[in-house]
């Protein structure tokens, strides 16, 4: 069973938000500590829904080198729409434990962890939001436990990926060195992501750095993930396309309501890959975020409109 949630108050508590963007400044959640089926301590954030009729909860799963804090703005906003939101730290990231068996860093194991979390929380159906790797996990869930998925939002990811994006991600994933200041951390995040997000200002880059780095016992700033999570990408086990990924996407998008959100500047889901997905799943909804690359943060106006419209169609 999951441990009893611990209340956590993020920045901005006590404010009285007056519009959707203000909700980004309210990040109140309970901490969930649970254990995987193979005994690894794992972590998730639990954002309570605003008052109203009970609706299907939302489970958010982050990208390869990220963690649950990536959803610290969009999760409260979705909660304001009346849905409980769970944002998970995938094993090897954030506050979840690193796995001594690096072969476990794969979507099938990650999907099993999500299934265990849902079981512990008594969640039998959820809307899934998967960013990048999180979308691959969501598609894997469609093969392992389709009944758990009420609907799915794939954020800049699909069954066919561009080699351009994979090459870029492989160039930095698992290779970050300890840093000595938040200025250095901000510069690192900006260097890695600036081409994909040309409109970001320094305040936004600082925010991203605070999500990506944490201070260790030596006072150094280190990325919040096990470098070994990048091994499948670096050793070629993560392919640009595979038959299993295509089958998983077809099962998901043809049997459950699905929305693809794509960054217009994305080098992972380029026009070719997006067109393939739309041809395979004609009923899939689609939104493209202008002047954003891989992967949109989901608080962009286009993304918020698409998510709001999509969730309104889901019980």
What local confidence, expressed as pLDDT, does residue 17 receive? Answer: 40
Domain 6-168+242-311: CATH superfamily is: Alpha/Beta hydrolase fold, catalytic domain (3.40.50.1820)
What local confidence, expressed as pLDDT, does residue 18 receive? Answer: 41
What local confidence, expressed as pLDDT, does residue 44 receive? Answer: 98
Residue 82: Cβ-neighbour burial (10 angstroms; 0-12, 13-18, 19+): middle
The neighbour count for residue 109, using CB atoms within 10 Å, is 20
Beta pairing class for 41-47 and 28-35: antiparallel
Biggest CA-to-CA distance, the chain: 53
Helix ranges, the chain (H): 74-80, 107-121, 133-144, 163-172, 182-193, 202-212, 231-234, 243-255, 271-280, 301-311
Mean pLDDT (10-residue bins), the chain, 315 residues: 43 37 64 98 96 91 97 97 97 98 97 98 98 98 98 98 95 91 97 96 97 95 96 82 94 98 98 98 98 98 98 94
- The three-state DSSP-derived secondary structure of 227-258 is HHHHHHHHCCCCCCECHHHHHHHHHHHHHCCE
What local confidence, expressed as pLDDT, does residue 237 receive? Answer: 75
| Cα end-to-end span (Å), the chain | 27
What local confidence, expressed as pLDDT, does residue 236 receive? Answer: 75
DSSP, collapsed to helix, strand or coil, labels residue 28 as strand
User: How many angstroms separate the CA atoms of 259 and 100, rounded?
Assistant: 35
């Amino acid at each position: 069973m999951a441990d009893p949630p611990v209340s956590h108050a993020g920045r901005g508590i006590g404010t009285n938000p007056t519009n959707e963007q203000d909700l980004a400044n309210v990040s109140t959640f309970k901490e969930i500590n649970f254990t995987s089926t193979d005994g690894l301590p794992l972590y998730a954030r639990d954002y309570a829904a605003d008052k109203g009729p009970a609706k299907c909860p939302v489970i958010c799963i982050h990208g390869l080198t990220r963690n649950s804090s990536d959803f610290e703005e969009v999760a409260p906003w979705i909660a304001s729409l009346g849905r409980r939101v769970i944002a998970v730290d995938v094993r090897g990231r954030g506050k979840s434990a690193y796995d001594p068996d690096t072969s476990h860093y794969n979507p099938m194991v990650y999907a099993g962890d999500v299934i265990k979390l849902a079981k512990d929380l008594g969640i039998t159906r959820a809307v899934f939001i998967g960013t990048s790797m999180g979308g691959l996990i969501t598609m894997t869930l469609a093969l392992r436990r389709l009944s758990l998925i009420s609907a799915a939002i794939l954020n800049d990811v699909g069954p066919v990926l561009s080699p351009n994006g994979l090459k870029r991600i492989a160039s930095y994933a698992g290779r970050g060195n300890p840093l000595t200041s938040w200025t250095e951390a901000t510069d690192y995040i900006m260097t890695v992501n600036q081409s994909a997000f040309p409109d970001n200002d320094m305040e936004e880059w600082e925010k991203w750095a605070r999500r990506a780095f944490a201070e260790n016992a030596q006072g150094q700033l280190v990325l919040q993930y096990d470098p070994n999570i990048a091994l499948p990408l670096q050793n070629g086990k993560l392919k640009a396309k595979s038959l299993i990924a295509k089958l998983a996407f077809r099962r998901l998008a043809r049997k459950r309501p699905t929305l693809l959100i794509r960054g217009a500047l994305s080098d992972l889901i380029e026009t070719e890959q997006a067109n393939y997905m739309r041809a395979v799943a004609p009923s899939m909804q689609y939104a493209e975020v202008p002047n954003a690359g891989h992967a949109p943060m989901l608080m962009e106006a286009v993304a918020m409109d698409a998510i709001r419209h999509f969730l309104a169609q889901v019980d």
